[in-house]
């Protein structure tokens, strides 16, 4: 299951990097096209109408235009302008739509990957079925395992092609008994994202009745409107798909790959840490709330990972300004037996900087705390942004 998880996260990260780096270039290119088109039109006017280029921006330009240009010249110029192909700059629109489609495709691939893992490890649903196969097809296989692999792939393709998105979700919920975390995941938002993708691919980005009915039309679009993907919508969609995909994987992991449950909890810890660094605080909050509700540690490693997840949760709450919830969670942590590094975390999140400085040297000795860690760990943001605290921290650790 770790391979499925890694593939999903890497795919989403790659599309995010692609979007981050190319959107500014696309916008710049579109602006250049607009500027060059404007200059071309301006020069064309000058050339066609015989106006002195040096007088274009002068105060008497209109008077000169009226005095020197005949009606016939003006009609000829207007006709020529009308014949110029109207090709608006579309680099930005093409990039955002293609990125959005790729994002949806990666989400579809996730369902296929999860089904592939399930049928390979729990082939019961396949072996129960009566499947006929021709002798000519049978001769293509070199071994029984090869035939089995092919039949699994055919079954997965059939499920993904025959079922619409709601039916596919229900297949996971009822047939495979995988919870869909409706209290955390906004499936209506995911449904709108899926329906918008269909509009872009199959209806030239034009809103129709099918979209309005199926998506519940949360953006109040009208039939005939052209749908666009702006930066905010893309990043909101990315986060929604990342959240729903991650939780779906973790639930499948917990049911189908229990022997590697500790690895799953470690991945939740790393996922929340990385997204704190990227300042995706609401995403971190939801992942941590999922972990708190669903995970009961069974060994020391899991205890350690869950403690770190809890502190990542508290960091997200502090950044989101949810101080009441933050304080309630901090009070539940038994600080007395914790390592110095966790006492430091408790102190920073409680704004107790006397306690923070008191434990710095201890954390350096016991937990290898260094300035490199302080400059990288989201926990220490309040220290990094306070010159006085940062200077004092550096003096203690060096």
**Which residue from 315, 332, 317, 307 is spatially nearest to 382, judged by alpha carbons?**
315
% of the chain residues with pLDDT over 70:
76
What pLDDT sits at residue 53? 52
Distance CA 306, CA 172 (A): 27
Distance CA 69, CA 178 (A): 76
CA atoms within a 13 Å half-sphere pointing along the CA-CB vector of 300 = 0
Reduced to 3 states (helix: H, G, I; strand: E, B; else coil), residue 184 is coil
Q: Say if residue 281's pLDDT is above 60.
A: yes
Q: Which residues of 4-15 are buried (b: 16+ CB within 10 A; e: fewer)?
A: bbeebbebbeeb
The average pLDDT across 356-385 equals: 93
Distance CA 331, CA 315 (A): 14
The average pLDDT across 271-280 equals: 95
Distance CA 196, CA 234 (A): 11
Reduced to 3 states (helix: H, G, I; strand: E, B; else coil), residue 327 is helix
- Provide the H-helix boundaries in 84-208: 91-121, 124-127, 135-138, 144-162, 165-170, 187-202
Distance CA 185, CA 245 (A): 10
139 versus 348: the higher-pLDDT residue is: 348
pTM value > 0.75: yes
The average pLDDT across 315-343 equals: 93
Q: Are 73 and 49 in contact (CB under 8 A)?
A: yes
Distance spanning both ends of the chain, measured CA to CA: 43
Query: Which tens digits make up the pLDDT trace of 67-119?
Result: 666 666 666 666 555 554 444 446 677 778 888 999 999 999 999 999 999 98
The DSSP letter of residue 201 is H
- Please state the domain extents for the chain: 1-26+90-256
The average pLDDT across 295-310 equals: 94
Lowest-pLDDT range of 132-136, 156-160, 341-345: 132-136
**Which residue from 245, 304, 182 is spatially nearest to 6, judged by alpha carbons?**
245
Query: Which tens digits make up the pLDDT trace of 191-200?
Result: 999 999 999 9
Most confident of 62-66, 218-222, 266-270: 266-270
Distance CA 81, CA 41 (A): 8
Query: Which tens digits make up the pLDDT trace of 156-192?
Result: 888 888 888 899 999 999 999 999 999 999 999 999 9
Average pLDDT value over all residues in the chain: 84
């Amino acid at each position: 299951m770790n391979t499925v998880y890694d593939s999903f996260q890497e795919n989403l990260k790659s599309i995010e990097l692609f979007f981050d780096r190319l959107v500014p270039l696309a916008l710049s290119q579109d602006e250049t096209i607009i500027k060059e088109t404007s200059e071309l039109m301006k020069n064309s006017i000058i050339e066609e109408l015989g106006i002195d280029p040096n007088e274009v921006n002068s105060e008497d330009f209109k008077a000169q235009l009226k005095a020197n240009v005949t009606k016939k010249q003006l009609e000829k110029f207007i006709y020529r302008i009308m014949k110029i192909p109207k090709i608006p700059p579309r680099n930005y629109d093409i990039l955002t739509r293609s990125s959005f489609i790729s994002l949806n495709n990666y989400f579809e691939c996730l369902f296929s990957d999860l089904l592939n893992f399930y049928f390979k490890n729990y082939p019961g649903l396949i072996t129960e079925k009566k499947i006929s196969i021709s002798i000519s097809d049978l001769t293509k296989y070199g071994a029984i395992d090869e035939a089995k692999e092919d039949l699994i792939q055919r079954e997965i393709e059939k499920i993904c092609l025959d079922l619409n998105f709601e039916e596919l979700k229900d297949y996971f919920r009822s047939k495979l008994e995988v919870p869909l975390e409706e209290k955390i995941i906004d499936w209506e938002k995911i449904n709108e994202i899926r329906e918008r993708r269909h509009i872009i691919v199959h209806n030239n980005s034009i809103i129709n009745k099918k979209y309005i009915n199926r998506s519940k039309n949360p953006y109040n679009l009208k039939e005939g409107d052209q749908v666009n993907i702006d930066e905010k919508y893309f990043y909101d969609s990315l986060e929604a798909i990342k959240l729903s995909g991650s939780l779906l994987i973790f639930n499948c992991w917990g049911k189908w790959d229990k022997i590697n449950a500790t690895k799953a909890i470690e991945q939740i810890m790393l996922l929340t840490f990385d997204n704190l660094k990227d300042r995706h605080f609401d995403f971190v909050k939801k992942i941590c709330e999922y972990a708190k509700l669903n995970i009961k540690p069974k060994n020391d490693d899991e205890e350690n990972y869950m403690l770190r997840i809890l502190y990542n949760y508290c960091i997200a709450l502090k950044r989101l300004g949810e101080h009441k919830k933050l304080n309630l969670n901090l009070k539940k942590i038994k600080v007395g037996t914790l390592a110095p590094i966790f006492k430091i975390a408790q102190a920073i999140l409680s704004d107790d900087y006397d306690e923070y400085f008191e434990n710095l040297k201890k954390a350096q000795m016991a937990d290898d705390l260094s300035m490199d860690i302080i400059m990288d760990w989201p926990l220490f943001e309040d220290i990094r942004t306070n010159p006085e605290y940062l200077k004092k921290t550096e003096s203690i650790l060096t």
